[in-house]
Amino acid sequence: MSGDGRRDGLLVVRCQLGEREAFRELVRVWHAPLWRYVRGMVGSPHLADDLAQEAWVAVVRGLPRLRQPERFAPWLFTIARRTVADHLRQAYQTAETSVEEAGAVVDDDDSLGGVLNTMQVEAGLNGLPPLEREVLILFHLQDLPLAACAEVLGVPPGTVKSRLHRARRMLRRVLAERGYEA
């Protein structure tokens, strides 16, 4: 995870008191992790830019009401999750494209001795259902602790553990099907 709760809490309080420099620092610390999470969920870097921007607008609006400043990270990822869910819901309602068109993946046989690079892992993540993809991104790529993942996802920690187990197994299978040994 990019920040620590105490430092983030102090930054949030300073933001709530109107210090613009504190907000710049909060964005500096948290924009990259937020963007990586959104990118992992939607797949497109350009769409991730737009949705991360929407999430920051929601943060600016909600920051004055944040009662537990030290819980900024789970709160931020909850906002990002809602932003992504809203986008996906709107896209689902308006899109007329087929699942096959949206999910087409180019098969690349040129592996580097079984070593998984970032693009291969991302392709594997994109092959997972949203719930499994999301829990892997939050826990492994964003380094959120189990309790924070549970808070963001709105489920008990035990559910997060079972989703992680299932997601890892599914990712292994997807990567194996594509010829990568995980």
**Residue 110, amino acid:** D
pLDDT at 162 over 70: yes
The whole model's pTM is what?
Answer: 0.66
Question: By three-state DSSP, how is residue 67 classified?
Answer: coil
pLDDT at 108 over 60: no
Q: Which residue has the higher pLDDT, 88 or 110?
A: 88
Q: What is the pLDDT of residue 105?
A: 39
Q: Is the distance from CB of 48 to CB of 42 less than 8 angstroms? A: yes
Instruction: Tell me which H or E stretch contains 165.
Output: helix 157-177
Q: What are residue 131's phi and psi, to 5 degrees? A: -65, -45
Instruction: Encode pLDDT of 113-134 as tens digits.
Output: 344 556 667 777 888 888 888 8
Instruction: Encode pLDDT of 47-99 as tens digits.
Output: 999 999 999 999 999 999 999 999 999 999 999 999 998 888 777 665 444 33
